[in-house]
C-alpha cells in the first residue's frame, strides 16, 4: 500500500510496489478514462526551489488529468524562502493547505528533511546532486515499454555521473533487477560518487568505468545520456573544459546495436546532436510522455484513490 507514503529515493518503494505503479501507468496509457477524476477535491503543492520544465509540468499535468488541483511556486524568489523562512516552516505551511507535496531543492537531503516535518506525503523532485526518484520511475517505465521488460540489459550512462542525480537514482534502482550490467562513461573528474559505487558492489552488480563512448557503443542495450550539471560546479572554467566531452551524433550511433534505446532525462544542451532525434532508437521525447503516466499512477496511489 502506497497511501500516505513519501518518495525520497528509489529504495523507499519495494520492487513489487514499483512494478504495481508501472502496471497502473500502463492502464492509464491504454485507457485515458481510467482514474480520470479520481483526485477530485485533492490539492498538490509544487515547491520548486530550482528550475524545472518537465518535472513540474508533468506533475501538474498528471494532477489535473486526475481531476485534482495544484498550487505552488516555480521561483523561490517569490516565496518566503527569500525572506529567510526555513524549509521546515515552508513545508509545514504547504502541508496545511495541500494533500501532498512535490519539492525540488538544491540541497542534498532537503526532501528527506521536508518529509520529517510534513504530515502529508512528500515527493522528491530532485535534491541537489543526490536523487530524483520520479525521473527513475519514468526511465524504468520507458525501458520496460521499449525493451519488453527490465532484465538482461547492458546499460551505459554517459556524461556527468558525479553530479547527475538522475544517474544516481537510476543506477540504484536498476541494481534490483535481474542481470543488468552497467558501463559508466565519463571524464575522470565526473565519475559516479563513492556511495553509488559501494551500493553496486554490495548488490553484486557487474559494472565498469571507461572514458570512451565509442568503445562502449557496440555493447549497449540502453544508453543514458546526461548534461554536464553547470549549476553544481565550483568554477566555470572546469565546466567549460568538460561540457562537450561527449557528443552523441550519427557517426557514434552507427556503432550502436539495432535495438539500442537512447534515453536522456532532458534538458539537453550539446550532448546529443539534433540529427540523432530522427533515429528510431532515440527515445527521449517518448520518455517525457511516460513520465506523466507514471506520475499519475504515483499521485493516485499515495493519495489512496487508485484502488490498487
Q: Between 55 and 79, whose beta carbon lies closer to ligand NCD? A: 55
Of 145 and 295, CB closest to ligand NCD: 295
- Alpha carbon distance 174, 181 (integer Å): 9
Distance CA 289, CA 28 (A): 12
Beta bridge partners of 262: 223, 282
Q: Helices (H) and strands (E) in the chain — how many of each?
A: 11, 9
Q: Which three cell numbers stand for residue 130?
A: 543526490
Bridge partners of residue 104, in order along the sequence: 48
Nearest-approach distance from CB 134 to ligand NCD, in angstroms: 8
Of 72 and 265, which CB lies nearer to ligand NCD in the complex structure?
265
| Smallest distance from ligand NCD to CB 265, Å | 4
Rounded CA gap, 253 and 281, in Å? 9
Closest to ligand NCD by CB, 115 vs 138, is 138
Q: How far is the CB of 117 from ligand NCD (least distance, A)?
A: 23
- CA separation for the pair 155, 222 (Å, rounded): 5
C-beta of 35 vs 60, nearer to ligand NCD:
60
The cell numbers describing 246, all together, are 561527449
Determine the residue with CB nearest ligand NCD.
Answer: 265
Residues of this chain that interact with ligand NCD (CB under 6 A) are: 54-55, 126, 132, 135, 165-166, 226-227, 265-266
246 within 8 A of 213, measured Cβ to Cβ: yes
Residue closer to ligand NCD, measured from CB, 54 or 286: 54
Question: What three-state secondary structure class fits 80?
Answer: helix
Region for 69 from its dihedrals, namely left if φ exceeds 0, alpha if ψ lies in -120 to 50, beta otherwise: beta
Other CB atoms within 10 A of residue 270 CB: 12
Task: Rank residues 256 and 265 by Cβ distance to ligand NCD and give the closer one.
Answer: 265
Report in angstroms how near the CB of residue 76 gets to ligand NCD at its nearest.
15
CB of 106 to ligand NCD, least distance (A): 11
Minimum CB separation of residue 68 from ligand NCD in Å reads 21
In the bound complex, what is the minimum distance in angstroms from residue 84's beta carbon to ligand NCD? Answer: 25
In which order are the strands placed within the sheet that holds 69-73? Answer: 69-73, 43-48, 100-105, 122-127
Amino acid at each position: 500500500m502506497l497511501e500516505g507514503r513519501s518518495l525520497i529515493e528509489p529504495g523507499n518503494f519495494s520492487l513489487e510496489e514499483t512494478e504495481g505503479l508501472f502496471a497502473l501507468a500502463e492502464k492509464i496509457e491504454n485507457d485515458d478514462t481510467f482514474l480520470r477524476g479520481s483526485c477530485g477535491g485533492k490539492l498538490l503543492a509544487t515547491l520548486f526551489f530550482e528550475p524545472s520544465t518537465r518535472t513540474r509540468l508533468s506533475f501538474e499535468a498528471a494532477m489535473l488529468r486526475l481531476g485534482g488541483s495544484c498550487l505552488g511556486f516555480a521561483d523561490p524568489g517569490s516565496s518566503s524562502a527569500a525572506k529567510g523562512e526555513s524549509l521546515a516552516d515552508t513545508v509545514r505551511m504547504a502541508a496545511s493547505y495541500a494533500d501532498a507535496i512535490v519539492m525540488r531543492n538544491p540541497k542534498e537531503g532537503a526532501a528527506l528533511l521536508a518529509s520529517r516535518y510534513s504530515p502529508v506525503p512528500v515527493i522528491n523532485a530532485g535534491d541537489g546532486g543526490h536523487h530524483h526518484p520520479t525521473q527513475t520511475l519514468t526511465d524504468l517505465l520507458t525501458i520496460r515499454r521499449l525493451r519488453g521488460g527490465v532484465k538482461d540489459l547492458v546499460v551505459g550512462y554517459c556524461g556527468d555521473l558525479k553530479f547527475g542525480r538522475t544517474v544516481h537514482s537510476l543506477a540504484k534502482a536498476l541494481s534490483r533487477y535481474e542481470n543488468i550490467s552497467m558501463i559508466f562513461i565519463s571524464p575522470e573528474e565526473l565519475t559516479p560518487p563513492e556511495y553509488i559505487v559501494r551500493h553496486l558492489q554490495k548488490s553484486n552488480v557487474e559494472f565498469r568505468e571507461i572514458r570512451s563512448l565509442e568503445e562502449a557503443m557496440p555493447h549497449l542495450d540502453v544508453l543514458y545520456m546526461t548534461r554536464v550539471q553547470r549549476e553544481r560546479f565550483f568554477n566555470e572554467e572546469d565546466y567549460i573544459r568538460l561540457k562537450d566531452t561527449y557528443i552523441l551524433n550519427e557517426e557514434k550511433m552507427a556503432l550502436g546495436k539495432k535495438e539500442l534505446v537512447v534515453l536522456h532525462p532532458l534538458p539537453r544542451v550539446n550532448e546529443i546532436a539534433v540529427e540523432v532525434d530522427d533515429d528510431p532508437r532515440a527515445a527521449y521525447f517518448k520518455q517525457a510522455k511516460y513520465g506523466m503516466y507514471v506520475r499519475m499512477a504515483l499521485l493516485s496511489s499515495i493519495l489512496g484513490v487508485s484502488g490498487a
